Structure 1
Amino acid sequence: MARLAVDGGRTNIRHACRTFELSETCYRYQAKASEENARIADWLVRLTTAYRDWGFGLCFLHLRNVKGFGWNHKRVYRIYRELELNLRIKPKKRLVRERPEPLAVPEAINQVWSMDFMHDQLSDGRSFRLFNVLDDLGSPPFSRTL
């Protein structure tokens, strides 16, 4: 607004800045980093085309440690985002589960077997492991007669 008033020739800079409650330094400010930003953007585009799987972190570390540029990471990241170079976070692929097959019902002995691993610890602290293989139609292995 102050710039429009001054450019129109209606008032001077001091009066326009007081009217719009703007400091004269803000009115006169000109960004001088546009050439440097273009240089940063050029480097980022070159790196991301050469190394497609590099994200911002690797690009910034390469520019700072290998190339020796002293740019601020926030500035480089702002330009990285403006160029829309952000890598897409890929969602995890879901495994399509088929319907489980019903359990086989044995008709005779020695047709269907089951196996299991067991692990336990004795009272003195020693541990042991067991591998159990059982016939599904056979008699229960832990049956007792009282």
Structure 2
Amino acid sequence: MVGPKARRLAALHLVERHQISERRASKVLGLQRSTARYKPKPRDDSHLIERMQFLARNHRRFGLPRLHYLLKREGTVRAKSRTERVYRSLGLQLNKRRRKKMMAVTRVRFESATKPNEIWSFDFVSDRTETDRKLKSLTIVDDCSKRTPGIFADYSITSKDMIQFFESLENLPAKLRCDNGPEMTSREFLAWAHNRKIEIEYIQPGKPIQNAFIESFNSRFR
């Protein structure tokens, strides 16, 4: 099916090339004359492009849905179709092919915690029970005191389970540091952290050393 834009261009071609009237060209193509005369108004996407590139650099594993959620939350965009159009024009689609080597990225130095409950690092640890059933544990470490605010274990842990566990703790930190797992990047978890005014700091993909405190704890926890 030919859209209005293509028919409008075809009508313009008939008028200019074959010297026929606009009325006749519109009638032949089944096009409204108002549509034939319509001139698209270019939209200024410079601010949206700047914000999308910034978010894509800081969240390398965020695809279109999560980027649109962040942009919509900050009021930069409303319609998902506009986000998708700019997203595709910038070529930000995630590569689903597995690579043997991770893409080289600039080394990032994260700030250190200076007081308790300032930065918490957390991650998941997987194991199996005696009956060979998978067991998943959510471990947390305070980067300053090196203490564990809590550990949550279950056969399956979703982002909602993770939020409920954090809410059950006595205190919450100013910042959470974690990897780019699906539970950590879910829209439910992002919305909860935003409402709680907690900053989420993601480490770079393939760089577990950037979350060294929780990695060290998990090696002993196993």
Higher RCO (Cα < 8 Å, 6 or more apart): 2
